C-alpha cells in the first residue's frame, strides 16, 4: 500500500523531466495526483524568487539541484549585455536590464545544447542546471554588480562557517576553555628564546608543573553529537591563536607508520606561512582508529618520558644533550586537538585518561534560530519563526543539517504544512499528526492517510519513541487507564519487530509502523491541537552509559579476589551502595580516636584499597573543598542529591584520618618487604607523613617481630627430590652434593 | 583481605557452612542458583581441594582478541596456575571469539605437570546464561573434544538460557540460596571472630542477625556486606538499630506504595521518571521489576496478588526478549494499575 506512494512520487517527477525535455510525454493521471499530493511546484517558485522583482526564466526550473555547478553556456553570458547602468542619488550603481521573455530562455538553452551535441538527446539535469545557474546569475546582478555569483557553488554549511571567535555560537564557557587550553601552549610555541623553567630558578613546586608551562593534559578531546560545530570551533580557535591547522580526519590514511611519519613531520617542521602547526585529529572514534590513537598516545608517552628525564637531570646537562639529540625522547611542542562523537568508544579508552575532555553541548534553540535568521536574511530567504523552529527541531539542533535543509529544501519557505512539500515528513510532525484527530476527516480516512505517511518514513523507531514520550501529555478519553495498558502490548510488538534489524535474520521493522497507528487509534483526539514538545530520553541514555563505563572502571580496579566475587552489576546493586556506608564508619569522636574506632578506620581503609579506590580532594557543586574517592561513584549509588551532600560532609571529616591510615598501611608493607631483605627500616620513613615518631615506633616493633620470626626460619632444611630419566624405571636417589657440590 | 565478604569466604569445602550434601557431589558442571548463594565460592573450594592452595594465587591478565571484522577486543582473564576464569558476556556478541580462541588455546596445550597428578586445567565461565547462542554452540564441541585437558565449569543464575546439548553434556547442580538460619549462623560466627559488640543474650543476638538476613533477601554476599556496613555505622548493635536500606530499593518501595495508594495517568507518567532514574543508575531492569512486584504484593489485597504475579511474569519475559526496557516497565505499571482498579 505504502511503497507505491513513494514510487509514484518519484515517478511523477521523472515524468515531468521527460515532459520538459522532449515534450512528448502523455499528460494524464499522474500529473494531477502529483498536484494533489504536493502543491504544484509552480506556486512554490513564484514566491521564492530571490529578487522578486522580475520573473525569471521558466517557472519549472526552480529546483535547486546539485547540478547548478554546470558551466555556463555562451548564450547566457551574452544576455548580460542588455543591461543598463544607472547611478542612484545615494551613489549606488544599479544594473537595470531587459526582462527576458518567457519562452525564449529554455529554448535558447536547448539550442545551445543542440549546437554542442547535435540531437543526440540531452541530459535533463544538465539542462536544468544551466537554466538554474543562469537564473541565479541574473537575479542578484540586477541589484549589485559584484554579488553572490561565485558562492552559489558553496555549501552553506561551509559558507557560513564562523570565521572568528566572536562568530561562534553556543556555550561560551566551553569555547573559552578551549581557548585557554590552546593559549597555554603559546609560551612554548611562540617564544623564540624558549627557556624551560629549571629546577633552580623557581620554587621546588616546579618539579610537578610542566617545564614549558604547557597544560597538564597534552591532548584536548572534544566530544559531542554531530553538527554542533566541534570541528569549526577547533579550527576557529586554533586560527585565532595563530596556528596553521593541520587536519587529519577519517578520510586520510591513518594506520600505523604512515600516520606516524606524517604527524611527526608536521609537528616538528615549519610551514610555508611560518606559523606553527596545530594538529586537529577529527573523527577519532571510529573502530579502525586504534592505530591512530596509539600514535597519539605514543607521542604523549614520549613527552612524559622526556619531561621526567629532564626534571631528573641537571638543566645544564640537558642543554648538552640537546646538541646530540640521538636517543633523547622528544618533547611534544605543538598542541593536539582530537575530536570525536562518542567519548566512550572502545578505541578511546586509553586516550580519555590522557586528555582534557570537553563536552560539547548543543546551542539553545533561540541562539540557533537567531543565527539561522541572520543567514536567511543574507541569503534572502523569507521564512517565519515557526518554520525556523521546525527546522531546528527536525535537524535535532544540528546546525549543519539546518543549513543543508535551508539550502536544499527549496519550497519549504512558503508551505505552512510540512506535508505539502515533496520531501519526507519529519518524525516529530508525524507524532503530532498521530495525536491530532482531524475534524474534517473520517477516522478511517485519516488512518489511511497516516499509514501512508508513516510507512514511507524510515524512522519508525523515532516515531514510536516520540509517541511513547508524549502520550502522557495529550488528551484522550479513557476509562481506568485501559489505553496505556493496551498500548504496552503494542509497544512490545514494536520492540520485537524493531529488534530484528540488528539480528541479521531479516528485517521485520516494517511492521512496527503498526504501533504508531495504534497510538493514533487509542490516543488520537480532537482536543489535541497544540504542537507537542517531544521530550527526549537521550539524557538518561547518556547518563546510563557514563555510569556503566564507571562501573567497568571500578570493576577493572578491583583486586583479583574481589573481582571473582563481584560481577559489575552486583557492584551497582549491592556492593557500591553498601560500600558507601562501610568506608564512612561512625566514630565516637573524630578528635579522640579510641582503639575500637581505630580498628574501624583500618577496616574502612582496607575496603578502600581492596576496591582500588583512591582518596582525592575535590570541589563540590558549591565549590567547597571536599574529600572524595576516585573514581567517584555517587552517581551510581545515590539517588537523592541531599544524601550526596551529607555523605560528602562526612567523608571530608573522615577521609583525612583514613589517608593517614592508608599511609601507615603502605609504610608497613614497605617495612615488611625491607625486613624480608634483611635491611633495617631506615629511609623511606622520612617521606611518609607528620606522625613520624609513631611510625618509627611501629617500624621498630615490626622489625623486632620480624626478626623473632626469622630465626626459626633459617634452620629449616631444604629437601630436593630429583628424578633422573623419563620414567620411574631408572629412578635412583641423588645426593645433595651431586647437584650442588 | 579487605571486606568481610572476602575475608571470611570459605576456602575449602569443609568450611562451607551450609548445603553440606551438595559439596560432596561436585564434578564437571553447570552450577546454577540465585546470586549470593555461594556458587563461585563452592567451585573455587572444589578447585582448592583438587589442586591445593595454588588456586588462590590469582592474577589478572588482559588478553586481546581480533574479531572477524578486525576489531580488537580487550578482555580480562583472572587466572591461577590451575584454573582460569572468564566472563565472555563482557564482550556482548563477540563472546564466540573468546570461547573459540581462548578455550582452544588452553585446550590444545597440555598441562606440564611433572607430578602427573592434574593433567587438566579448569575453566570457569561466568554468567553462562548470557552467552550467545553462537558461543554456546562453539562451546559444546570443545567440551567433549578436549575433555582430556580442560574441564569446564559454567556458572549461571538459571539453566533456561543454556542450550540442551550443553545441558546434556554436563552435570547440572543447583545451589539454592542459604536459608535464614544458615545466614544467621554464619553471621554469628563471624561476629565472634570480629568481636562485634552485640547484645550478650542469645535471643537478642539472633534477632538482630535474623533481621540482617531478612533484609538481604537470603543473599549471603549481601548479608555480609550489609552486616559490615551496619557494624561500621553503629557503635554497638541493638535490637532497635535500624537496618541500612539501599537507596534504589527505597526508591522502588516508594513507587510501589504510590501505586497502591492512587492510580491514574499522572502516576504512570511519574513512575516513568523513576524508572529512567533507576535504569540510569545501572540497576538491571529485571531486578527493578522483581523488586517492584514483591513490594506490591506486600501492599495489595490477596485477591489481586495472582494477577500481579502473572503480569510480572509476562513482562519479565518481555524484558528478556525486547530491548526497550522502559516500555515494558511502564507497561507493567499500567497493567497492574488496571488490575488493581478492577480488584478493588
How many CB pairs below 8 Å do chains A and B form together? 200
- Whether residue B74 contacts residue B82, with contact meaning beta carbons closer than 8 Å, is answered with no
Contact state of A481 with B5 under an 8 Å Cβ cutoff? no
- Whether residue A346 contacts residue A288, with contact meaning beta carbons closer than 8 Å, is answered with no
Enumerate the residues of chain B whose CB falls inside 8 A of the CB of residue A477. Answer: none
Q: What is the pLDDT of residue A679?
A: 44
Task: State whether A205 and A313 are in the same domain.
Answer: yes
Decide which of A359, A377, A397 is a domain's last residue: A359
Residue A420, by phi and psi: left (phi above 0), alpha (psi -120 to 50) or beta?
alpha
Q: CA–CA separation, B311 vs B289, rounded Å? A: 10
Q: What is the pLDDT of residue B326?
A: 92
Hey, is the C-beta of B105 within 8 angstroms of any chain A C-beta? no
Contact state of B287 with A468 under an 8 Å Cβ cutoff? no
Instruction: Single out the residue of B142, B162, B160, B155 nearest to residue B39, CA to CA.
Output: B155
- Whether residue A616 contacts residue A629, with contact meaning beta carbons closer than 8 Å, is answered with yes
Contact state of B247 with A588 under an 8 Å Cβ cutoff? no
Hey, is the C-beta of A540 within 8 angstroms of any chain B C-beta? yes
Hey, is the C-beta of A689 within 8 angstroms of any chain B C-beta? no
Task: State whether B139 and B25 are in the same domain.
Answer: yes
Residue A701 has pLDDT above 70, yes or no: no
Q: What is the CATH number of the domain that holds B297?
A: 1.20.272.10
Domain contains A126: yes
Hey, is the C-beta of B282 within 8 angstroms of any chain A C-beta? yes
Evaluated on CA atoms B1, B2, B6, B9, the torsion sign reads positive
Task: State whether B206 and B338 are in the same domain.
Answer: no
* Continuous segment of H or E residues that includes residue B83: strand B83-86
Residue A15 has pLDDT above 70, yes or no: no
Cell numbers describing residue B262: 492512587
Cell 577521609 belongs to which residue? A655
Q: Which member of A480, A585, A723 has the closest CB to residue B338? A: A480
Nearest-Cα distance to chain B for A347, in Å, is 9
Task: State whether B30 and B162 are in the same domain.
Answer: yes
Decide which of B174, B191, B223 is a domain's last residue: B174
Task: State whether B163 and B191 are in the same domain.
Answer: no
Q: Which member of A480, A579, A586 has the closest CB to residue B341? A: A480
Task: State whether B24 and B168 are in the same domain.
Answer: yes
Question: Over the range B264-297, which residues count as b (16 or more CB within 10 Å of their CB) and which as e?
Answer: ebebbeebbebbbebbbbbbebebbbebbbbbbe
DSSP percent split of chain B into helix, strand, coil, nearest 5 = 60, 10, 30
Q: What is the pLDDT of residue A253?
A: 63
Enumerate the residues of chain B whose CB falls inside 8 A of the CB of residue A489. Answer: 331
Residue A59 has pLDDT above 70, yes or no: no
Q: CA–CA separation, A380 vs A646, rounded Å? A: 58
Q: What is the pLDDT of residue B333?
A: 93
For A93-111, what is each residue's pLDDT tens digit? 777 766 655 555 556 656 6
What are the Cα distances from residue B157, in Å, to A573, B162, B166?
16, 10, 15
Task: State whether B35 and B146 are in the same domain.
Answer: yes
Cell numbers describing residue A658: 583514613
Contact state of A561 with B58 under an 8 Å Cβ cutoff? yes
Going by pLDDT thresholds of 50, 70 and 90, the confidence category of residue A294 is confident
Mutate to test the interface with A, among B66, B116, B327 (most CBs of A within 10 A): B327
Residue A125 has pLDDT above 90, yes or no: no
Mutate to test the interface with A, among B248, B277, B282 (most CBs of A within 10 A): B282
Q: What is the CATH number of the domain that holds A268?
A: 3.40.50.300
Cell numbers describing residue A421: 512539500
Domain contains A724: no
Task: State whether A148 and A176 are in the same domain.
Answer: no
* Chain B, nearest residue to A484 by Cα: B334
For B27-58, what is each residue's pLDDT tens digit? 557 888 888 888 888 888 878 777 777 777 88
Q: DSSP H helical segments within A512-594, as ranges? A: 513-523, 538-557, 560-565, 568-570, 576-582
Q: What is the pLDDT of residue A717?
A: 64
End-to-end CA distance of chain B: 54
Domain span holding position B56: 19-174
Q: What is the pLDDT of residue A56?
A: 40
Q: What is the pLDDT of residue B312?
A: 94
Q: What is the pLDDT of residue A312?
A: 67
Domain contains A73: yes
Task: State whether B28 and B158 are in the same domain.
Answer: yes
Cell numbers describing residue A653: 571529616
For chain B, the maximum distance between any two Cα atoms, rounded to a whole number of angstroms, is: 73
Task: State whether B220 and B317 are in the same domain.
Answer: no
Hey, is the C-beta of A10 within 8 angstroms of any chain B C-beta? no
The rounded mean pLDDT for chain B is: 82
Task: State whether A134 and A220 are in the same domain.
Answer: no
Q: What is the pLDDT of residue A414?
A: 45
Task: State whether A141 and A181 are in the same domain.
Answer: no
Q: What is the pLDDT of residue A12?
A: 42
Task: State whether A60 and A140 are in the same domain.
Answer: yes
The rounded mean pLDDT for chain A is: 69
Half-sphere exposure of A74 (CA within 13 A, CB side): 6
For B58-80, what is each residue's pLDDT tens digit? 888 888 877 777 777 777 788 88
Going by pLDDT thresholds of 50, 70 and 90, the confidence category of residue A209 is low
Instruction: Single out the residue of A392, A364, A369, A372 nearest to residue A172, CA to CA.
Output: A364
Question: Over the range A501-528, which residues count as b (16 or more CB within 10 Å of their CB) and which as e?
Answer: eeeeeeeebeebbbbbbbbbbbbbeeeb
- Of B94 and A237, the structure prediction assigns the larger pLDDT to A237
Cell numbers describing residue A558: 578491583
Hey, is the C-beta of B234 within 8 angstroms of any chain A C-beta? yes
Instruction: Single out the residue of B227, B219, B238, B203 nearest to residue B291, CA to CA.
Output: B219
Task: State whether A43 and A182 are in the same domain.
Answer: no
Total structural domains within chain A:
2
Under-70 pLDDT residues of chain B: 1-7, 11-28, 110-119, 344
Going by pLDDT thresholds of 50, 70 and 90, the confidence category of residue A720 is low
Q: What is the pLDDT of residue B336?
A: 92
Total structural domains within chain B:
3
Task: State whether A215 and A286 are in the same domain.
Answer: yes
Mutate to test the interface with B, among A349, A466, A481, A550 (most CBs of B within 10 A): A481
- Of A377 and A206, the structure prediction assigns the larger pLDDT to A377
Q: What is the pLDDT of residue B289?
A: 94
Task: State whether B167 and B23 are in the same domain.
Answer: yes
Q: What is the mean pLDDT of residues A545-569?
A: 79
Nearest-Cα distance to chain B for A574, in Å, is 6
Nearest-Cα distance to chain A for B341, in Å, is 7
For A656-672, what is each residue's pLDDT tens digit? 888 888 888 888 877 77
Task: State whether A234 and A202 are in the same domain.
Answer: yes
Hey, is the C-beta of A498 within 8 angstroms of any chain B C-beta? yes
Q: CA–CA separation, A41 vs A59, rounded Å? A: 9
Hey, is the C-beta of A481 within 8 angstroms of any chain B C-beta? yes
Mutate to test the interface with B, among A473, A503, A581, A609 (most CBs of B within 10 A): A581
Q: CA–CA separation, A13 vs A342, rounded Å? A: 39
Domain contains B1: no
Q: CA–CA separation, B191 vs A639, rounded Å? A: 31
Q: What is the mean pLDDT of residues A717-733?
A: 58
Hey, is the C-beta of A264 within 8 angstroms of any chain B C-beta? no
Domain contains B11: no
Contact state of B284 with A636 under an 8 Å Cβ cutoff? no
- Of A564 and A82, the structure prediction assigns the larger pLDDT to A564
Q: CA–CA separation, B13 vs A13, rounded Å? A: 79
Lowest mean pLDDT among A116-120, A154-158, A559-563, A719-723: A116-120
**Residues near A81 by beta carbon (within 8 Å), at least 6 away in sequence:** none
Domain contains B239: no
Domain contains B317: yes
Domain contains B5: no
What are the Cα distances from residue B34, in Å, to A148, A221, B39, B167?
72, 43, 9, 18
Q: CA–CA separation, A122 vs A700, rounded Å? A: 99
Enumerate the residues of chain A whose CB falls inside 8 A of the CB of residue B45. Answer: none
Domain contains B122: yes
Contact state of B247 with A638 under an 8 Å Cβ cutoff? yes
Task: State whether A88 and A233 are in the same domain.
Answer: no
Going by pLDDT thresholds of 50, 70 and 90, the confidence category of residue A44 is very low
Going by pLDDT thresholds of 50, 70 and 90, the confidence category of residue A599 is confident
Residue A362 buriedness (CB in 10 A; 0-12 / 13-18 / 19+): buried
Q: Which member of A567, A572, A574 has the closest CB to residue B225? A: A574
Q: What is the pLDDT of residue A51?
A: 42
Q: What is the mean pLDDT of residues A144-149?
A: 39
Q: What is the pLDDT of residue A6?
A: 38
- Of A585 and A315, the structure prediction assigns the larger pLDDT to A585
Instruction: Single out the residue of A65, A72, A64, A58 nearest to residue A130, CA to CA.
Output: A72
- Of A713 and A596, the structure prediction assigns the larger pLDDT to A596
Domain contains A703: no
Task: State whether A235 and A127 are in the same domain.
Answer: no
Lowest mean pLDDT among A75-84, A490-499, B209-218: A75-84
* A-contacting residues in B 315-344 (Cβ below 8 Å): 318, 321-324, 326-328, 330-332, 334-335, 337-338, 341-342
Return phi, psi of residue B271, to 5°.
-70, -25
For A254-291, what is each residue's pLDDT tens digit? 566 677 777 777 777 666 667 788 888 887 776 566 67
Task: State whether B188 and B273 are in the same domain.
Answer: no
End-to-end CA distance of chain A: 96
- Of B281 and A568, the structure prediction assigns the larger pLDDT to B281
Task: State whether A124 and A177 are in the same domain.
Answer: no
Domain contains B12: no
Enumerate the residues of chain A whose CB falls inside 8 A of the CB of residue B234. Answer: 586
Hey, is the C-beta of A589 within 8 angstroms of any chain B C-beta? no
Hey, is the C-beta of B254 within 8 angstroms of any chain A C-beta? no
Task: State whether A264 and A307 are in the same domain.
Answer: yes
Domain contains A592: no
Hey, is the C-beta of A466 within 8 angstroms of any chain B C-beta? no
Enumerate the residues of chain B whose CB falls inside 8 A of the CB of residue A581. Answer: 229-230, 232-233, 244
Contact state of A573 with B246 under an 8 Å Cβ cutoff? yes
Domain contains B242: no
Task: State whether B187 and B307 are in the same domain.
Answer: no
Domain contains A456: no
For A391-430, what is each residue's pLDDT tens digit? 777 777 777 778 877 777 654 444 444 443 344 567 777 8
Task: State whether B283 and B187 are in the same domain.
Answer: no
Domain contains A148: yes
Nearest-Cα distance to chain B for A196, in Å, is 39
- Of A668 and A703, the structure prediction assigns the larger pLDDT to A668
Residue B192 is classified by DSSP as: H
Q: What is the pLDDT of residue B35?
A: 83
* Continuous segment of H or E residues that includes residue A93: strand A93-96
* B-contacting residues in A 283-302 (Cβ below 8 Å): 287-288, 290
* B-contacting residues in A 361-420 (Cβ below 8 Å): none
Question: Over the range A137-148, which residues count as b (16 or more CB within 10 Å of their CB) and which as e?
Answer: bbbbbbeeeeeb
Q: DSSP H helical segments within A611-640, as ranges? A: 634-637
Domain span holding position A211: 171-359
Q: What is the mean pLDDT of residues A562-575?
A: 78
Decide which of B174, B203, B225 is a domain's last residue: B174
Amino acid at each position: 500500500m505504502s511503497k507505491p506512494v513513494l514510487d509514484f512520487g518519484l515517478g511523477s517527477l521523472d515524468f515531468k523531466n521527460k515532459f520538459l525535455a522532449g515534450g512528448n510525454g502523455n499528460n494524464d493521471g499522474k500529473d494531477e495526483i502529483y498536484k494533489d499530493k504536493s502543491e504544484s511546484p509552480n506556486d512554490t517558485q513564484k514566491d521564492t524568487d530571490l529578487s522578486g522583482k522580475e520573473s525569471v526564466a521558466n517557472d519549472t526550473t526552480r529546483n535547486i539541484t546539485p547540478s547548478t555547478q554546470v558551466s555556463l553556456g555562451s548564450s547566457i553570458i551574452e544576455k548580460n549585455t542588455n543591461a543598463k547602468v544607472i547611478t542612484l542619488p545615494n551613489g549606488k550603481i544599479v544594473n537595470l536590464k531587459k526582462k527576458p521573455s518567457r519562452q525564449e530562455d529554455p529554448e535558447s538553452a536547448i539550442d545551445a545544447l543542440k549546437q554542442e551535441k547535435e540531437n543526440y538527446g540531452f541530459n535533463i539535469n544538465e539542462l536544468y542546471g544551466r537554466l538554474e545557474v543562469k537564473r541565479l546569475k541574473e537575479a542578484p546582478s540586477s541589484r549589485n554588480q559584484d554579488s553572490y555569483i561565485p558562492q552559489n557553488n558553496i555549501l552553506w554549511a561551509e559558507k557560513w562557517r564562523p570565521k572568528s571567535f566572536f562568530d561562534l555560537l553556543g556555550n561560551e564557557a566551553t569555547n573559552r576553555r578551549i581557548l585557554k587550553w590552546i593559549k597555554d601552549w603559546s609560551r612554548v610555541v611562540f617564544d623564540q628564546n624558549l627557556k624551560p623553567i629549571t629546577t633552580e630558578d623557581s620554587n621546588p613546586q616546579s618539579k610537578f608543573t610542566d617545564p614549558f608551562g604547557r597544560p597538564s593534559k597534552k591532548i584536548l578531546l572534544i566530544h559531542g553529537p554531530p553538527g554542533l560545530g566541534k570541528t569549526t570551533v577547533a579550527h576557529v580557535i586554533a586560527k585565532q591563536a595563530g596556528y596553521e591547522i593541520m587536519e587529519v580526519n577519517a578520510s586520510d590514511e591513518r594506520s600505523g607508520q604512515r600516520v606516524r611519519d606524517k604527524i611527526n613531520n608536521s609537528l616538528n617542521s615549519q610551514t610555508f606561512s611560518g606559523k606553527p602547526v596545530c594538529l586537529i585529529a577529527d573523527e577519532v572514534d571510529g573502530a579502525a582508529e586504534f592505530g591512530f590513537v596509539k600514535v597519539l598516545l605514543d607521542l604523549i608517552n614520549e613527552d612524559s618520558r622526556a619531561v621526567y628525564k629532564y626534571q631528573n637531570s641537571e638543566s645544564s646537562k640537558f642543554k648538552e644533550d640537546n646538541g646530540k639529540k640521538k636517543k633523547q625522547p622528544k618533547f611534544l611542542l605543538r598542541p593536539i586537538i582530537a575530536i570525536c562523537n562518542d567519548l566512550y568508544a572502545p578505541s578511546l579508552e586509553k586516550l580519555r585518561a590522557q586528555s582534557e575532555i570537553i563536552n560539547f553541548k548543543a546551542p539553545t534553540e533561540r541562539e540557533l534560530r537567531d543565527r539561522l535568521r541572520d543567514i536567511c536574511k543574507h541569503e534572502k530567504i523569507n521564512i517565519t519563526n515557526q518554520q525556523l523552529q521546525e527546522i531546528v527541531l527536525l535537524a535535532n539542533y544540528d546546525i549543519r543539517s539546518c543549513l543543508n535543509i535551508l539550502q536544499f529544501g527549496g519550497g519549504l519557505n512558503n508551505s505552512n504544512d510540512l506535508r505539502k512539500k515533496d520531501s519526507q515528513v519529519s518524525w516529530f510532525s508525524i507524532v503530532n499528526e498521530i495525536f491530532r484527530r482531524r475534524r474534517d476527516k473520517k477516522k478511517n480516512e485519516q488512518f489511511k492517510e497516516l499509514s501512508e505517511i508513516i510507512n514511507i518514513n524510515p524512522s519508525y523507531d523515532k516515531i514510536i519513541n516520540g509517541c511513547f514520550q508524549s502520550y502522557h501529555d495529550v488528551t484522550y478519553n479513557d476509562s481506568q487507564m485501559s489505553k496505556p495498558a493496551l498500548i504496552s502490548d503494542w509497544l512490545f510488538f514494536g520492540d520485537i519487530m524493531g529488534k530484528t534489524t540488528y539480528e541479521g535474520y531479516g528485517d521485520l521493522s516494517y511492521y512496527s509502523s503498526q504501533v504508531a497507528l495504534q497510538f493514533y487509534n487509542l490516543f488520537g483526539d480532537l482536543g489535541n491541537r497544540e504542537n507537542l514538545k517531544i521530550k527526549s530520553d537521550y539524557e538518561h541514555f547518556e547518563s546510563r552509559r557514563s555510569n556503566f563505563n564507571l562501573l567497568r572502571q571500578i570493576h577493572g580496579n578491583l583486586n583479583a579476589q574481589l573481582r571473582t566475587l563481584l560481577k559489575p552489576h552486583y557492584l551497582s546493586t549491592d556492593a557500591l551502595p553498601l560500600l558507601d556506608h562501610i568506608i564512612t564508619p561512625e566514630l565516637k569522636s573524630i578528635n579522640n580516636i579510641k582503639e575500637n574506632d581505630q580498628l574501624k578506620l583500618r577496616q574502612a581503609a582496607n575496603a578502600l584499597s581492596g576496591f582500588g579506590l583512591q582518596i582525592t580532594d575535590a570541589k563540590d557543586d558549591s565549590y567547597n573543598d571536599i574529600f572524595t574517592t576516585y573514581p567517584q561513584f555517587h552517581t551510581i549509588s545515590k539517588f537523592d542529591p541531599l544524601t550526596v551532600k551529607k555523605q560528602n560532609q562526612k567523608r571530608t571529616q573522615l577521609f583525612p584520618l583514613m589517608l593517614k591510615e592508608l599511609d601507615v598501611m603502605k609504610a608497613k608493607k614497605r617495612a615488611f618487604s625491607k625486613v624480608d631483605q634483611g635491611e633495617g627500616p631506615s629511609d623511606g620513613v622520612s617521606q611518609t607523613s607528620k606522625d613520624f615518631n609513631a611510625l618509627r615506633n611501629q617500624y621498630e616493633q615490626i622489625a623486632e617481630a620480624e626478626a623473632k620470626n626469622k630465626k626459626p626460619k633459617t634452620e629449616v632444611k631444604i629437601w630436593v627430590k630429583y628424578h633422573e630419566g623419563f620414567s620411574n624405571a631408572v629412578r635412583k636417589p641423588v645426593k645433595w652434593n651431586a647437584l650442588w657440590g | 583481605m579487605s571486606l568481610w565478604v572476602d575475608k571470611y569466604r570459605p576456602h575449602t569445602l569443609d568450611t562451607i557452612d551450609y548445603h553440606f550434601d551438595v559439596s560432596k557431589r561436585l564434578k564437571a558442571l553447570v552450577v546454577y542458583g540465585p546470586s549470593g548463594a555461594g556458587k563461585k565460592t563452592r567451585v573455587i573450594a572444589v578447585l582448592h581441594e583438587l589442586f591445593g592452595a595454588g588456586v588462590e594465587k590469582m592474577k589478572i591478565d588482559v588478553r586481546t582478541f581480533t574479531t572477524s571484522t578486525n576489531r580488537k577486543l580487550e578482555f580480562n582473564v583472572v587466572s591461577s596456575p590451575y584454573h582460569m576464569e572468564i566472563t565472555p558476556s563482557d564482550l556482548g556478541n563477540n563472546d564466540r571469539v573468546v570461547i573459540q580462541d581462548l578455550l582452544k588455546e588452553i585446550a590444545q596445550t597440555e598441562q606440564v605437570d611433572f607430578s602427573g597428578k592434574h593433567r587438566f586445567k579448569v575453566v570457569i565461565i561466568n554468567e553462562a546464561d548470557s552467552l550467545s547462542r553462537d558461543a554456546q554452540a562453539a562451546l559444546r564441541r570443545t567440551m567433549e573434544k578436549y575433555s582430556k585437558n580442560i574441564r569446564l565449569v559454567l556458572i549461571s543464575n538459571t539453566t533456561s538460557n543454556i542450550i540442551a546439548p550443553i545441558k546434556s553434556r554436563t552435570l547440572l547442580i543447583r545451589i539454592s540460596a542459604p536459608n535464614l538460619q544458615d545466614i544467621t549462623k554464619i553471621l554469628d560466627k563471624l561476629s565472634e571472630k570480629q568481636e562485634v559488640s552485640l547484645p550478650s543474650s542469645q535471643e537478642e543476638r539472633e534477632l538482630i542477625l535474623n533481621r540482617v538476613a531478612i533484609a538481604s533477601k537470603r543473599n549471603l554476599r549481601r548479608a555480609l556486606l550489609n552486616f559490615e556496613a551496619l557494624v561500621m555505622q553503629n557503635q554497638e548493635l541493638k535490637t532497635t538499630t535500624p537496618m541500612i536500606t539501599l537507596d534504589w530499593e527505597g526508591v522502588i518501595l516508594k513507587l510501589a506504595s504510590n501505586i497502591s495508594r492512587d492510580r491514574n495517568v499522572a502516576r504512570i507518567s511519574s513512575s516513568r521518571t523513576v524508572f529512567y532514574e533507576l535504569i540510569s543508575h545501572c540497576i538491571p531492569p529485571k531486578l527493578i521489576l522483581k523488586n517492584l512486584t514483591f513490594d506490591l504484593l506486600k501492599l495489595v489485597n490477596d485477591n489481586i496478588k495472582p494477577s500481579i504475579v502473572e503480569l510480572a511474569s509476562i513482562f519479565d519475559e518481555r524484558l528478556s526478549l525486547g530491548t526497550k526496557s522502559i516500555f515494558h516497565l511502564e507497561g507493567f505499571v499500567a497493567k497492574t494499575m488496571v488490575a488493581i482498579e478492577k480488584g478493588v
